Amino acid sequence: MPQRRNLARALAVALTLTAAGAAGPAGARADEIPKAPGHRLVDSYEGAPATPQPVPGTAPAQHPFLAANGRSGMHADAWGSGTYPWSGPNGKNPDVTSEQMAALGGECATVTFDKAGRIVTVCGTFTGFLVKLLDPHSLTTLAEYKLPQRPSTVEAITRLDFSRIFKDTSGGAYSYLDDQDRLVLADSRQHIVRLAHEQAADGSWRFVVTDDWDLTGQVPHDCVSWTNLYPSGECDPVTSVMPDWTGRIWWVTRQGRVGTVDPATGSIKSVRLEGEEIQNSFSVAQDGVSLVSDHALYSFDAAADGTPRIVWRQTYDRGTGTKPGSVNQGSGTTPDLFGEEDDYVAITDNADDRMNVLVYRRGADVPADRRLVCKVPVFGSGASTTDNSLISHGDSLVVENNYGYENITSLTFGRSVVGGVARIDVRPDGSGCDTVWESDVRSPSTVPKLSLANGLLYFYTKQPNSLGVDAWYFTAVDFRTGTTRWKRLAGTGVAYDNNWAPVTLGPDGTAYVGVFNGLVAVRDGA
């Protein structure tokens, strides 16, 4: 532990010294992410190419105000399924490239794709988040737009506490691409911003703010900044934004505020879940908004004037404290809306001994004693938690174990997490759930994904290494059996730690992983 704290302190000092050295100008190619020593001491590839086996079943409904499924955000669609209609890499001579987005930091978390396949992403540097337009093949920056610096970054620098950054999900980390290829996010000023990208006659690109909605009339905003190092008031960062099926934009804050913005009128309404915290994103279907706080799972709809109202509320076992591998004391999952009949919602709890996967019927008229479908304990006693969304398809769920991961200092010197992945299916008659398979894959902190076109689950993994090599692998697992098909070395060292960023599958079959120093791309070779 002292070694880990010293590393965190050293990183905090380093970011102070390198804060000015962010990304290069638009159009300029940066460098590959540097590998730490030891990358020649580990296998670059294990396994064999997989034969595509498409997964049957009904895909999530296309949200009318989001980009096409698979292109719109961190969880791939409005239901939060984590599934893609196209194939990811099959493991045939997979090639790895990367782009360093800053001297230190630069992680690109949410990766979206416009109609032409260009990447629209938000990358976290220590001078502020950058919205970037990237070429999907070369990863060259075509345009960028700088967002305000988050309070947690100022705190990390001034108080030499690097860990503050890693438990902050605000400031644009959760964003979405809408049906007109505009990126929508909430910045650290408590504003919701809508950004379009456009090309000039000379071929250059730029971002343009098309809309800016100020939430500070509803959200406390006395936050730490360089000119306000010791605020006396309250600061409530906005965690996530998503549209509902009518186009109304919903937003949530860390301290339990739930609100809406009417894009046509600018009207802003909100309510507060007193004493509750929201650190995750939320999911949306035709029947409303599903979100989870650190106390309960909720279904919301909106009154005629846009005021959020609770349709139903279900508490769960939140345990007695925050586990290593969790951002707070509560569920770490964005709710998944799923089911062959489109009628379930799933989360995990934070039970002390073993985390449970919880499946509920989500209909507004479901009696309270029939709401819970199943409660399935997963992973080992005293060593289970997740702070990433489940994968859902048909009546199936996939969950990974993040127990032991806290930030980029957690797994240095060859360490790893206990790991584990499980698939759980709801029975066809809805009488309960069964564990289909379990895997020992160690995926410390990624948001995993499933390709419906080839039947492969994708994780970002790290095995223990007795030589102290920190080797990170892009790993493919068979959805049907849980068997690891192949894995490809992405890189070595802290710079390749994904630090909660997801796997994202591009429409051309490339897989992307946001890592601490930028973005990694994995694609099949010749």
**End-to-end Cα spacing for the chain:** 45
Domain ranges of the chain: 2-523
pLDDT score of 252 more than 50: yes
The pLDDT score that the predictor gives to residue 463 is 98
Distances (CA, A) of 193 to 13, 87, 189, 214, 443: 32, 32, 10, 9, 33
pLDDT tier, 171 (very low <50, low <70, confident <90, very high otherwise): confident
pLDDT tier, 214 (very low <50, low <70, confident <90, very high otherwise): very high
pLDDT tier, 424 (very low <50, low <70, confident <90, very high otherwise): very high
Count CA atoms within 13 Å of residue 191 on its CB side.
13
pLDDT digits (tens, 9 = 90+) for 447-456: 999 999 999 9
pLDDT score of 505 more than 50: yes
Residue 344 in tokens = 């379930």
Instruction: Note whether 439 and 419 are within 8 A (CB).
Output: no
pLDDT score of 136 more than 50: yes
pLDDT score of 14 more than 90: no
- Three-state secondary structure string covering 281-324: CCEEECCEEEEECCCEEEEEEECCCCCEEEEEEEECCCCCCCCC
Q: Is 228 helix (H, G, I), strand (E, B) or coil?
A: strand
pLDDT digits (tens, 9 = 90+) for 335-349: 999 998 769 999 999
pLDDT score of 500 more than 80: yes
Q: Dihedrals φ, ψ of 159, to 5°?
A: -110, 5
The pLDDT score that the predictor gives to residue 27 is 61
The pLDDT score that the predictor gives to residue 1 is 44
The pLDDT score that the predictor gives to residue 319 is 97
List, in sequence order, every residue forming a beta bridge with 193; answer none if it has no partner. Answer: 185, 212
What stretch of H or E contains 2? helix 2-18
Distances (CA, A) of 8 to 3, 14, 310, 409: 9, 10, 41, 6
pLDDT tier, 370 (very low <50, low <70, confident <90, very high otherwise): very high
More confident residue, 171 or 518: 518
Task: Quote the CA–CA distance of 109 and 112 in Å, as a whole number.
Answer: 10
Instruction: Note whether 507 and 71 are within 8 A (CB).
Output: yes
DSSP structure string for 235-299: B--EEEEEE-TTSPEEEEETTSEEEEE-TTT--EEEEE-TT----S--EEETTEEEEE-SSEEEE
Instruction: Note whether 69 and 77 are within 8 A (CB).
Output: yes
Instruction: Note whether 220 and 233 are within 8 A (CB).
Output: yes
Superfamily (CATH) of domain 2-523: YVTN repeat-like/Quinoprotein amine dehydrogenase (2.130.10.10)
Task: Quote the CA–CA distance of 164 and 499 in Å, as a whole number.
Answer: 13
Distance of alpha carbon 302 from the chain centroid: 26
The pLDDT score that the predictor gives to residue 9 is 40
Q: Is 356 helix (H, G, I), strand (E, B) or coil?
A: strand
DSSP structure string for 97-158: EEEE-SSSEEEEEEEEE-TTS-EEEEEEETTEEEEEEE-TTT--EEEEEEPPPPHHHHHHHH
C-alpha Rg value of the chain to the nearest Å: 21
Q: Tell me what the mean pLDDT of segment 213-219 comes to.
A: 97
Q: Tell me what the mean pLDDT of segment 416-443 comes to.
A: 97
The pLDDT score that the predictor gives to residue 13 is 37
pLDDT digits (tens, 9 = 90+) for 256-311: 999 999 999 999 999 999 999 999 999 999 999 999 999 999 999 999 999 999 99
Query: Nearest CA to 292 among 274, 313, 307?
Result: 313
Query: Nearest CA to 395 among 365, 430, 370, 362?
Result: 430
State the sign of the Cα–Cα–Cα–Cα dihedral 166, 169, 170, 176. Answer: positive
pLDDT score of 413 more than 50: yes
pLDDT score of 457 more than 50: yes
pLDDT digits (tens, 9 = 90+) for 50-91: 999 999 999 999 999 999 999 999 999 999 999 999 999 999
Residue 148 in tokens = 């305000």
Share of the chain above pLDDT 70, in %: 92
